[in-house]
Amino acid sequence: MIDVVNIQTQPVSKSRISECDFDQLVFGKTFSDHMFVASYDGKGWQDLKIVPYGDLSLSPALSALHYGQAIFEGLKAYKSQSGEALVFRPVENLKRLNKSAERLCMPTLPEEIFMSGLTQLLSIDRDWIPSKPGYSLYIRPYMFASDEYIGVKPSENYIFIIFTSPVGAYYNKPVKVRVEPHYTRAAPGGMGFAKAAGNYAASMYPATLALKDGYDQLLWTDGVEHKYFEESGTMNVMFIINDTIITPPTTDSILKGITRDSVLQLAKDWGVKVEERPVSVAEVMQAIQAGTLQEAFGVGTAATIAHISVVGYEGKDYTLPPVAERKFSNKVLKVLDEIKTGKAPDPHNWVYRV
Ligand SMILES: Cc1ncc(COP(=O)(O)O)c(C=O)c1O
């Protein structure tokens, strides 16, 4: 049960929803009417409020803009057939937010504040949840350092916000990925496991080079030898060889994906063999060439299950088996979607209803 916390609500005078074309949603470009805001003053969280979504007034000396204490989360809400908002595993996102916060010397957020803010925000903006298949309301909680201070030290003040964005598909076709042999997203001992803004900044230059060469994403390799797969863009990555799902373990340089955890749980429920262990580039490339790689896919909240159709490696493109033949990834995509939208039983209590 969530303790009730006091949240002041200032509703919009006029909703913008009639201006939103729900049939033409571009990922991440449309924002719902309201946002939840909380402030930390060095002692505790205070001034919890729901206000119209809009610009913030910030100091040019804002600590987060200079030294990068900024973390975020991403989760989704779906509309059930009876009109409820169904949120997928929100407490897992809070736990991960708090792990990120600890790594970046930021304050953690109590569950009652996160869940009350989320619940009230979804209640007021419920109509923004798309009901079309494949669409959802993307939820973006984030926290940043708000001291007006120049100097490298943890900030005393922080702002936490949740806003939402109705979205369609992140990728609308199977993805082409390139194995990254040189650049590193995150190193051992670093903060790759945290959902820290800086990790994404570090990934943009190498990802842009891949994009210019016609790939959708990179397949990151480890920061020490570039011999083992880590993850891909905003997804964890899985391969199926010999009817076994093989996926890298979540070390300190890999984000511990909630979709990854859910997919592995379903695989175990269905008696599919799973190996969480280092996956070498050599092993996968050999399997592709021998024709024993059955499936390869990314898993993440934004992209859900993204089939990988082509792997670029050392200047050559390797085409993977046709998507229609991929039994596991097609099944898990369908079943996860049914659980998230309330159409299938939810044996692990993943869905939170608002
Ligand atoms: C770097 C990275 N890896 C993996 C994931 C997948 O995590 P999740 O399934 O929790 O969305 C994400 C997305 O949040 C990500 O940004």
Q: How far is CA 353 from the centre of its chain?
A: 20
Long-range contacts of 268-276 (CB under 8 A, 24+ apart): 269/347, 272/243, 272/244, 272/245, 272/328, 273/243, 273/244, 273/245, 274/244, 274/245, 274/247, 275/244, 275/245, 275/246, 275/247, 276/247, 276/248, 276/249
CA-to-CA dists, residue 43 to 12, 96, 156, angstroms: 31, 22, 9
Domain membership of residue 161 as a residue range: 8-168
| In a shared domain, residues 103 and 226 | no
| In a shared domain, residues 16 and 151 | yes
Is residue 1 in a domain? no
Q: Residue 175, CB half-sphere, CA atoms under 13 Å: how many?
A: 28
Q: Please report the atom of ligand 1 found closest to the CA of residue 262.
A: 9
Q: Is 260 in the pocket of ligand 1 (CB under 6 A)?
A: yes
Name the amino acid, one letter, at 258: I
Is residue 28 in a domain? yes
| In a shared domain, residues 129 and 194 | no
| In a shared domain, residues 145 and 209 | no
Nearest CA to ligand 1 atom 7: 257
Q: Is 93 in the pocket of ligand 1 (CB under 6 A)?
A: no
Q: What pLDDT shows up at residue 26?
A: 87
* Nearest alpha-carbon partner for 262 in 192, 351, 194: 351
Which of the listed residues 96, 247, 266, 301 should we mutate to test ligand 1's pocket, taking the one with most ligand atoms within 8 A of CB? 301
Q: How far is the CA of 9 from the centre of ligand 1 (A)?
A: 31
Q: Is 259 in the pocket of ligand 1 (CB under 6 A)?
A: yes
Q: Please report the atom of ligand 1 found closest to the CA of residue 259.
A: 9
Domain boundary among 151, 168, 185: 168
Which of the listed residues 255, 262, 304 should we mutate to test ligand 1's pocket, taking the one with most ligand atoms within 8 A of CB? 255
Domain boundary among 168, 192, 212: 168
| In a shared domain, residues 211 and 143 | no
Q: Cβ neighbours of residue 53 under 8 Å, at least 6 residues apart?
A: 31, 32, 33, 34, 35, 163
Q: Are 228 and 280 spatial neighbours (Cβ–Cβ below 8 Å)? A: yes
In the chain, the number of structural domains is 2
Q: Please report the atom of ligand 1 found closest to the CA of residue 261.
A: 9
- Helix, strand or coil for residue 212? helix
| In a shared domain, residues 50 and 116 | yes
- Helix, strand or coil for residue 112? helix
CATH code of residue 290? 3.20.10.10
Q: Is 119 in the pocket of ligand 1 (CB under 6 A)?
A: no
Is residue 278 in a domain? yes
Is residue 83 in a domain? yes
Q: Are 193 and 248 spatial neighbours (Cβ–Cβ below 8 Å)? A: no
Regions in the chain scoring below 70 on pLDDT: 1-4
| In a shared domain, residues 126 and 194 | no
**Rounded-to-integer distance, Cα 258 and Cα 144, Å:** 22
Instruction: Give helix 90-103 / helix 111-124 axis angle, nearest 10°.
Output: 130
Q: How far is the CA of 44 from the centre of ligand 1 (A)?
A: 29
Nearest CA to ligand 1 atom 12: 234
| In a shared domain, residues 87 and 201 | no
Task: Strands of 254-302 (E only): list them.
Answer: 273-276, 293-300
Q: How far is the CA of 237 from the centre of ligand 1 (A)?
A: 10
Q: What pLDDT shows up at residue 2?
A: 53
Q: What pLDDT shows up at residue 3?
A: 58
Q: Is 79 in the pocket of ligand 1 (CB under 6 A)?
A: no
Q: What pLDDT shows up at residue 1?
A: 46
Is residue 3 in a domain? no
| In a shared domain, residues 248 and 268 | yes
Task: Strands of 233-303 (E only): list them.
Answer: 235-241, 244-247, 273-276, 293-300
| In a shared domain, residues 297 and 315 | yes
Is residue 157 in a domain? yes
Is residue 346 in a domain? no
Domain boundary among 168, 191, 216: 168
| In a shared domain, residues 155 and 256 | no
| In a shared domain, residues 162 and 180 | no
Beta carbons within 10 angstroms of residue 8's beta carbon? 10
Q: How far is the CA of 234 from the centre of ligand 1 (A)?
A: 5
CATH code of residue 141? 3.30.470.10
